[in-house]
Amino acid sequence: MTEQFPIEANEVHEVEPVETGRRAFLGVAAGVAGLCYVGALAYPIYRYLDSPSEMALGAAAVTEVTLKDAQKLPTGSVLMFKFGSSPAMLIHHTDGRWISLTAVCTHLGCTVQYEPDADRIHCACHGGVYNPYTGANVSGPPPKPLKAYKVTVGAADVTVSRA
Amino acid sequence: MTTKSIANTVYSWVDERLGLGELAKFARKKTVPVHKQSFWYYWGGISLFLFLVQCFTGVLLLVYYRPGADAYESVRQITFTMHFGWLIRSAHAWSANLMMLSVLVHMFSVFFMKAYRSPREFGWFSGMMLLALASVFGFSGYLLPMDELSFFATKVGLEIPAAIPVIGPIIANLLRGGPDVSEFTVQRFFALHVVVLPAVFIPLLAFHLWLVQKHGNAAPPSEEAKPASQRKSMPFMPNFLVKDLAMWIISLNVLALLASIFPWQLGKQYDALAPAPLGIHPEWYFMAPFEMLKLLGLVFSGKLAALGEIAGILIFTLGIVLWLLIPFYDPNLESGRRGRRAHYFGLFAIFALLVTTAIGYWTIR
């Protein structure tokens, strides 16, 4: 470890302050230039790899989804659809009520399912249960309710929008 | 414990197990000859750098590329939808071309410095093998976007193995995945380009680089003839390494400028029913071999025309074999006559490559 490269051994004599000043300046300049290179390479690569999440952000900006012919959905059944980039469900309850909720479990993000027989929303991953009318978390690990959307039933379609 | 003593402890722990000290000792002892032709020593390193760029940008393209029927759409997406996708694709294509160029410069500098002579024959053979693999890399990669140009380039290119008697059509069909270029072709070219070729190329490259470490840089015969006291050299660490890295930075700058100022184009999606576009021609590094085959084919006209294609391939192959075997008929002899003959062969090869490339571009219709 004590051995030195010959070039460094030669430069040990250069102890004048002017030389150290120039050397320090060159060192800093080389460091700054190196950082510029790293930045110039890293920035486009980061943006390139991150493109899909930006696209998803664009999709998430959606405020309204129109589901054609969804007004024909029979009672006691569910229609799964994409609201922006995440799954959502439109439930036509047996009492005629239309309810739309996000289908992403608030626990760890699994997609939940509507069970008409049990009249509940169930997450198979960890057994979370939600109320199918309000989206409230009833039992199991989910910490928060499922977010509800506003539903407008038209003559030829159903429009779901952010509440 | 101070930072320095911690670093020393860690270093000696690793050193005991991996023998880093020996490596460092080897690196310090390594020297590079200094003479008028020293400039040409950098071209192997430049080729290596550009290959690393290929690996890196290739993996980035792999993130979004989809082979098969969806190939064109995925390249269109990379080029026009993903941020900076055009730049990464452009850098991949440009560095492929620059790598072919620097590999050719490297090959000819080795040839004229007679660096293939004993004990460096394996360096020459492995280098030629790497060049052949690099050409296949280029050929297979060219198809992957599946635009008009790549479709027809592959179609025409595969007619060459197809001209080999008896086994030719079988080989061509295997490469194509059927009688015509289709999504099957792009799928298998993809497997070739990203799995098979790297798996063969990288170990061979490691062997090639190990040989350079083992035998050191060859000096041209004019230097070898000088007495040892008159020969100059510089230490590899850090002098040559720093210069090598400077060359890498220059290469990176050239690549960045070319890739961003002249972004690589994407043509129309291929259509098996559409006619070949006007002015279609092989990539520059395939132009010379193509033109040579064409010219050799012209020599045999009339009834012998069918023979011409085969004869062309044969004569061309013979030339490559002669080139490959140069270490055997130009060994390290005291008499300079054979050495001069090899020199003329090299000059002739350069002349033939330049002239046929020029004719090729001249006669584009």
Based on the fold, state whether residues B236 and B91 are members of the same structural domain: yes
**What's residue A1's pLDDT?**
44
Distance of alpha carbon B215 from its chain centroid, rounded? 22
Based on the fold, state whether residues B267 and B289 are members of the same structural domain: no
The region that residue A140 occupies, defined by phi over 0 for left and psi between -120 and 50 for alpha, beta otherwise, is left
A22 residue type, one letter: R
Based on the fold, state whether residues A78 and A38 are members of the same structural domain: no
Residue B108 CA to residue B102 CA, distance in Å, equals 10
Based on the fold, state whether residues A52 and A70 are members of the same structural domain: no
Based on the fold, state whether residues A48 and A77 are members of the same structural domain: no
**What's residue B340's pLDDT?**
81
**Domain of B186, in residue numbers:** 41-277
Overall average pLDDT of the B338-343 stretch: 79
Question: Which of B277, B299, B323 is at the close of a domain?
Answer: B277
Chain A residues whose C-beta is within 8 A of a chain B C-beta are: 1, 3, 5-7, 37, 40, 44-45, 47-51, 54-55
Based on the fold, state whether residues B205 and B233 are members of the same structural domain: yes
- Residues A88-143 have pLDDT tens digits of 999 999 999 999 999 999 999 999 999 999 999 999 999 999 999 999 999 999 99
Assigned domain for A113 exists: yes
pLDDT above 90: residue A39: yes
Question: Which of A96, A107, A132 shows the shortest CA–CA distance to A117?
Answer: A132
Determine how many CB atoms are found less than 10 A away from the CB of residue A81: 16
- Which chain A residue's Cα is nearest to B64? A49
* Element (DSSP H or E) covering residue A82: strand A77-83
Based on the fold, state whether residues B211 and B341 are members of the same structural domain: no
Taking the CA of residue B10 and the nearest CA in chain A, the distance in Å comes to 13
Based on the fold, state whether residues A123 and A92 are members of the same structural domain: yes
Question: Which of B256, B277, B298 is at the close of a domain?
Answer: B277
**Domain of A54, in residue numbers:** 6-60
pLDDT above 90: residue B27: no
Residue B303 CA to residue B78 CA, distance in Å, equals 50
When CB atoms are compared, the residue of A1, A7, A51 closest to B82 is A51
Based on the fold, state whether residues B219 and B301 are members of the same structural domain: no
Quote ipTM for the complex.
0.88
Question: Which of B252, B277, B302 is at the close of a domain?
Answer: B277
Assigned domain for A102 exists: yes
Structural domain count, chain B: 2
- Residues B195-225 have pLDDT tens digits of 999 999 999 999 999 999 999 888 888 888 8
Assigned domain for A1 exists: no
- Residues B110-150 have pLDDT tens digits of 999 989 988 999 999 999 999 999 999 999 999 999 999 89
Based on the fold, state whether residues B216 and B287 are members of the same structural domain: no
pLDDT above 60: residue A10: no
**CB < 8 Å to A1, chain B:** 8, 11
Based on the fold, state whether residues B179 and B299 are members of the same structural domain: no
**What's residue A9's pLDDT?**
47
Residue B193 CA to residue B197 CA, distance in Å, equals 6
Question: Which of A60, A80, A103 is at the close of a domain?
Answer: A60
- Residues A50-94 have pLDDT tens digits of 999 988 888 878 889 999 999 999 999 999 999 988 899 999 999
Residue B109 tokens read as 């500098």
Q: What percentage of chain B carries pLDDT values higher than 90?
A: 63
Band (pLDDT 50/70/90 cuts) for residue A17 is low
Based on the fold, state whether residues B82 and B220 are members of the same structural domain: yes
Exposure class string for A2-28: b at 16+ Cβ within 10 A, else e: eeeeeeeeeeeeeeeeeeeeeeeeeee
Based on the fold, state whether residues A38 and A113 are members of the same structural domain: no
Interstrand relation of A113-115 and A120-123 (parallel, antiparallel or unpaired): antiparallel
How many inter-chain contacts (A to B, CB under 8 Å) are there?
Answer: 39
Based on the fold, state whether residues B254 and B306 are members of the same structural domain: no
Report chain B's mean pLDDT, rounded to a whole number.
Answer: 90
Residue B338 CA to residue A41 CA, distance in Å, equals 50
**What's residue B236's pLDDT?**
87
Q: Please, which residues have CB within 8 angstroms of residue B125's CB and are 6 or more apart in sequence?
A: B324, B327
Structural domain count, chain A: 2
CATH number, domain containing residue A137: 2.102.10.10
